Amino acid sequence: MDAGRWSLDRLGQRHTANTQGGYVKRGEFALLDSIADMTYIVTETCVDLKDKSCIEVCPVDCIHEAAEDRMVFIDPDECIDCGACVDPCPVDAIYAEEDVPEAQVLFVDINKVYFKDKALARSQVSQIKPPVAT
């Protein structure tokens, strides 16, 4: 680990970052190292569902969706970590970053990259869960 590079999480815990050239490698996706930690992560069960119950209860309107997106995304710069979005989700798609199940960990990277490069995030979602042919 790069002992010279660290950040504090939302609880004030110190974490070191393992980066190479400003990129973090997790699974099969490389993305720019984010200075801002993610708050809540939307995972695979939201893909192609977009129930939007989470959007309705968010007090700061930090959950975004667009017609061309197959899921919703939480903006870490706007999220206040209240967790109001977690329980209304009918498919249990939203987790605090530190609680994301191992099988869904690639969605942490997708959520991080979305607000920097929407096309890349959309491509990564399609690689993990290809669109169903109609």
Q: Nearest to residue 58, comparing CAs of 43, 71, 75, 44? A: 75
To the nearest 5 percent, what fractions of the chain are helix, strand and coil? Answer: 25, 20, 50
100-131 pLDDT, tens digit each: 999 999 999 999 999 999 999 999 999 999 99
CB 11 within 8 A of CB 18: no
Identify any residues that bridge with 15 across adjacent strands, giving them in sequence order: 7
pTM of the model: 0.72
Q: Which residue has the higher pLDDT, 38 or 60?
A: 60
Q: pLDDT over 90 for what percent of the chain?
A: 69
Q: How many Å apart are CA 50 and CA 70, to the nearest integer?
A: 7
Class of domain 36-128: alpha beta
Task: Quick: pLDDT tens for 16-30.
Answer: 444 333 334 444 444
Q: Nearest Cα to 128, choosing from 4, 42, 2?
A: 42
Q: List residues bridging with 48 in a β-sheet.
A: none
User: In this prediction, what percent of the chain has a pLDDT beyond 70?
Assistant: 72
Looking at residue 107, its pLDDT comes to 97
